[in-house]
Amino acid sequence: MLKVFPPTRPKSPGLALVTEEDYFPVLENLLAQATREIIVMAFSFVVGDDKGLLYFQSLPFKVMEKLKALKKEKGSSLRIRVFLEGARDTAAKNRVTAAHLKKGGIEVTMGGSHAKGFCVDGRYTLLGSTNLTGQSLAKNFETNLLIDDPRVAAEFSRYFEHYWQGGQHGEIKLKAPLLADGAFKKKLIAAIKGAKASIAFSIYFFEQAEIEAALIAAAARGVKIRGLVHDHAKFALSDVRRTRATVERLRRAGVKGLSFSSRAIFTHSKYLVADRENVVLGSGNWLNRDVDTHPQIYVNLKHRKLGVELARHLKAQIVENRPP
C-alpha cells in the first residue's frame, strides 16, 4: 500500500505510508531522483549467499545494481555510502554485498545496525521495518514512512554519521520526530499510557516487561486494543516462544483483541498507534536487546490521517490473514 499525506500546514513534513510490495517501486523512484547524496543503513542487504553465489533475479540485487548504475552515471557528483550490520547472523551475506558495492565505487562501512533506512539529497527519508532481502521486499508485512522534510533528513544523516564514524549505541539523541536506538521504548510507553480510547499495533518479536505492563494497564482502564503479532516455526525460535508467552500473559491479564499472524506470512512491521493519531514506528522489536544493545531508528508523529490509515490497514490484515 502507498498512501500519500500532503503537508497539513506550512513547514510540516510531507508523508507517505509505504507498506509491503510498494516499498521497492517507491525506493526505485526515490533513488532515481538523487543528484548529490544517498546514504543507506541496513541490517540485512542480501544479493547472494554467503559463498558469493548471486541471486540475479532478486529485488535486493536490483537495488544494488541501481546504486551502482547511479554511481557510474553521475560519478563524483553523487556520493553513495552504505552502513551494514557486520557482526550478527546477517554479516556474512552483507559482506558479499559490500564487496560488489565497493567494486561499483560505493563507500561501505560495516558495524552494528538494526536501523533500516535511506536518505536522499538531504530531503527525503525512507525508514521503517523493511530489510533489503527478497523475503522482506516481496513477501512480508512491512511498514515504512517516506518523509519529505530537510529537518528530518538532517537528523537521519546525523544518526548515520554517528555510526559511520564509529559511534556506539546510546551515544546520540535525535531531534523530534526521530528517535535513536533505545529511545523508542519511552515513547511507546508514553503513547500507551496516554491512550484514551484505542491502541493498534503490529510487532515481530515482543518480550519487554514495561511495554507489556503499560498495555495491561491500558486495557484495565477500558482502552480497546487490537494487536497483530508474528508467529512462525522456522528460526529464532527462542524469540518466537518468548513472544507467544508475552501474548498469553497479556490475554490472561485481560488484554483482548490480540491475534497471531498466519505462519504463511511474516508480520515484520513494528509500530503502534494510540487513539488513531499518535504513531510510533520504526525498526526495533520490543525486546530488551533491541532497546539496550542494537542500533535502531524510530519516528514518533501525531498525525490523524496517518494514524487512521494505519489502524485501518492493521484491521484489514488481521481479518484477511487469520491463521487457519
How many Cα atoms sit within 13 Å of 272 on the Cβ side? 28
> Which spans in 20-141 are helix H?
23-32, 59-74, 91-103, 134-138
Assign 66 to helix, strand or coil: helix
The predicted-structure confidence for 64-97, as pLDDT tens digits, reads as follows: 999 999 999 999 999 999 999 999 989 999 999 9
> Does residue 264 share a domain with residue 242?
yes
Strand-pair partners of 286: 206
> Does residue 105 share a domain with residue 7?
yes
Count of domains observed in the chain:
2
pLDDT score of 22: 95
Is the pTM here over 0.85, yes or no? yes
Which range marks the domain in which residue 312 is found? 180-320
User: For the domain that residue 112 is a member of, what is the CATH number?
Assistant: 3.30.870.10
> Does residue 240 share a domain with residue 217?
yes
Distance CA 126, CA 108 (A): 19
44-58, 185-199, 256-270: range with lowest mean pLDDT: 256-270
pLDDT greater than 60 at residue 244: yes
Distance CA 294, CA 170 (A): 9
* Confidence label for 1 from pLDDT (cuts 50, 70 and 90): low
9-18, 101-110, 299-308: range with lowest mean pLDDT: 9-18
pLDDT score of 323: 54
Mean pLDDT of 256-277: 92
Strand-pair partners of 260: 229
Rg of the chain, C-alpha, whole Å: 19
* Confidence label for 322 from pLDDT (cuts 50, 70 and 90): low
> Does residue 219 share a domain with residue 239?
yes
**Cβ atoms of residues 154 and 148 within 8 Å:** no
- What cell does 182 get? 533505545
